[in-house]
Amino acid sequence: MLLETARRARESGAEPADSGIETVVAIGEPVRNPRLELLPLGAALSSAWGCGIASTYASTEMQTCFCECVYGAGGHVHPELMYAEVVDSQGRPVAPGEAGEVVVTPLGVEGLPLVRYRTGDVARLFDGPCPCGWNTPRLGPIEGRLAHRLKYRGTTLYPEMIFHVLQEVPQVEAAYVEVRADFDLSDHVTVVVGVGEDGSIGREQLLSLMQARIRVKPDIRIETLESVKKRMFEHGGRKPKRFFDYR
Ligand SMILES: [Zn+2]
């Protein structure tokens, strides 16, 4: 929506970069990859509005949030408000920089205290000082939901990784992922992409991009933007559904 707003502003003769906006804060929307580099969407937003971009991550249970500072090096943990861990499948903390489930213990919450609450979200904690001067750990972008993890030829894959690759392809205006159980050890993953009337893209082009970026070759189905959007909104909610799990 923010990209579209910038585009329309420009069409009507206004320059979004002159609007005085200093930072776009993306709430619950990762704008970086696990190496903390901007994703194509984050970079496009930053350049369209000529401003910085920061991401936040939070939930009601946490009663606080992880928010990036201007250096965009992960969301800072506020140690007086929350104890944060990233753990493996056995609940043991993993080494800094390694991916695992985010587990939080909010501090100072009365009424319903939570101890080591499992969020179901996967991310990495980075230690070491941040250029802003804080020394608290920082949480990297959410890489996916634990429950959405796909079994794909021995590698760990989350639908979000596929969506992040598709951000590089402007012709793809909407996409969802379907997964079905297969007889072998891999899930059967289908990526359905919606292409608008003016755009065209070949399956092979998308496949080689997936192969290059995340080393997977899922089934790819190209449909009209209309039919893809219809499927994503047929549940009647406000947010599009992007993952259909039939396992
Ligand atoms: Zn910082």
Interval 81-126: pLDDT, tens: 999 999 999 999 999 999 999 999 999 888 889 999 999 999 999 9
Residues near 108 by beta carbon (within 8 Å), at least 6 away in sequence: 80, 81
Q: Which helix (H) or strand (E) holds 8?
A: helix 2-11
Ligand 1 centroid to Cα of residue 104, in Å, is 20
Interval 140-149: pLDDT, tens: 999 999 999 9
Ligand 1 centroid to Cα of residue 22, in Å, is 17
φ, ψ of residue 59 to 5 degrees: the values are -150, 165
Ligand 1 centroid to Cα of residue 217, in Å, is 37
Ligand 1 centroid to Cα of residue 227, in Å, is 43
Q: Which CATH superfamily is domain 149-245 in?
A: ANL, C-terminal domain (3.30.300.30)
Beta-ladder partners of 222: 193
Interval 202-243: pLDDT, tens: 899 999 999 999 999 999 999 999 999 999 999 988 889 999
pTM value is 0.86
Ligand 1 centroid to Cα of residue 138, in Å, is 8
Output the pLDDT for position 151.
Answer: 87
For 2-143, CATH number out of 3.50.50.60, 3.40.640.10, 3.40.50.12780, 3.90.1150.10 equals: 3.40.50.12780
> Could you give the strand order of the β-sheet that contains 243-245, starting from the edge strand earlier in sequence?
219-224, 188-195, 172-180, 243-245
Task: Count CB neighbours of 241 within 10 A.
Answer: 12
